[in-house]
Chain A
Amino acid sequence: MSSIDQSKIRNFCIVAHIDHGKSTLADRIIESTGLLTSREMQAQVLDNMDLERERGITIKAQAVRTIYKARDGEEYIFNLIDTPGHVDFNYEVSRSLAACDGAILVVDAAQGIEAQTLANVYLALDHNLDVFPVINKIDLPSAEPQRVIEEIEDVIGLEAQDAPLISAKNGIGIEEVLEQIVHKIPAPGGSPENPLQALIFDSVYDPYKGVIIFCRIMEGTVKKGTLIRMMATGAKEEVVEVGYFGAGQFIPCEELCAGMVGYITASIKNLKDTAVGDTVTDDRNPCKEPLPGYKKVQSMVYCGMYPADGAKYPDLRDALEKLQLNDASLNYEPETSVALGFGFRCGFLGLLHMEIIQERLEREYNLDLVTTAPGVIYKVHKTNGEVISLTNPSNLPDPSEIEYMEEPIVSAEIMVTSEFIGAIMELCQERRGRYLGMEYIEGTRALLKYDLPLNEIIYDFFDALKSRSRGYASFDYDLKGYEQSSLVKLDILINREEVDALSFIVHADSAYERGRRMCEKLKEEIPRHLFEIPIQAAVGGKIIARETVKAMRKDVLAKCYGGDITRKKKLLEKQKEGKKRMRQIGNVEIPQKAFMSVLKLDDRK
Chain B
Amino acid sequence: MISPMPCSHYIIRKQYFLRGVCMTVMRKFWSKHTIIAAISAAALTLSGCAASNALNEEEDAPAADTSDTVKVGVLHSLSGTMAISEVSLRDAELMAIEEINAEGGVLGKQIEPVVEDGASDWPTFAEKAKKLLQKDKVATVFGGWTSASRKAMLPVFEQNNGLLWYPVQYEGMESSPNIFYTGATTNQQIVPSVTWLLENKGKSFFLIGSDYVFPRTANKEIKAQLKAEGGTLVGEEYTPLGHTDYSTLISKIKEEKPEVIYNTLNGDSNVAFFKQLKDAGITADDITVLSVSIAEEEIRGIGTDILTGHYAAWNYFQTTDTPENEKFVAAYKEAYGDDRVTGDPIEAAYNAVYLWAAAVEKAESFDVDAVKEAAGGIEFKAPGGTVTIDGDNQHTYKTVRVGEIQADGQFKEVWNSGEPVKPDPYLETYPWAEGLN
Partners in one complex: no
